[in-house]
Amino acid sequence: MIKRIITHKHIRSIFKSFYFAFCGLWHIIKNHRNARIILFFAILAVIFGLYFRITKIEMTVVLLISGVVFVGEVFNSMVEDITNLITNQEYHPVVKTIKDMSAAAVLFASIISLVIGYLIFWQRIVSLWK
């Protein structure tokens, strides 16, 4: 078995990777409105979860579906940016279909997240008015 020694160079490389990932995260938050909206509602869902003291399983589900929707939006934004770059933002019917399918994936994940939010939070919210 070959032992791999972690050197200073490896550690710097790992930190550079994290730096670039955070740069990408900052870019998506700064430049893409829908990503900010999704992130806002994800944070709101977590705050509601803490307020209503939902179970660990329910909080895990909230975090997972929020992550799925956000990651979907990141990929959707990547598809849009790449296709705009390739086509110089000129209309092409195939590119439109690709962008529509990418947006549909985010829409589907968002609808599922609303259903999950309803199942977890609706009775708790209604009980506040009783």
In a domain, 8, yes or no: no
Cα(6)–Cα(124) distance, integer angstroms: 50
93-120 pLDDT, tens digit per residue, is 999 999 999 999 999 999 999 999 999 9
pTM of the full structure: 0.88
29-85 pLDDT, tens digit per residue, is 999 999 999 999 999 999 999 999 999 999 999 999 999 999 999 999 999 999 999
In a domain, 1, yes or no: no
- Structural domain total, the chain: 1
Instruction: Give the CATH number of the domain where residue 59 resides.
Output: 1.10.287.3610
Q: Which of 28, 98, 108 is nearest to 69 (CA)?
A: 108
In a domain, 28, yes or no: no
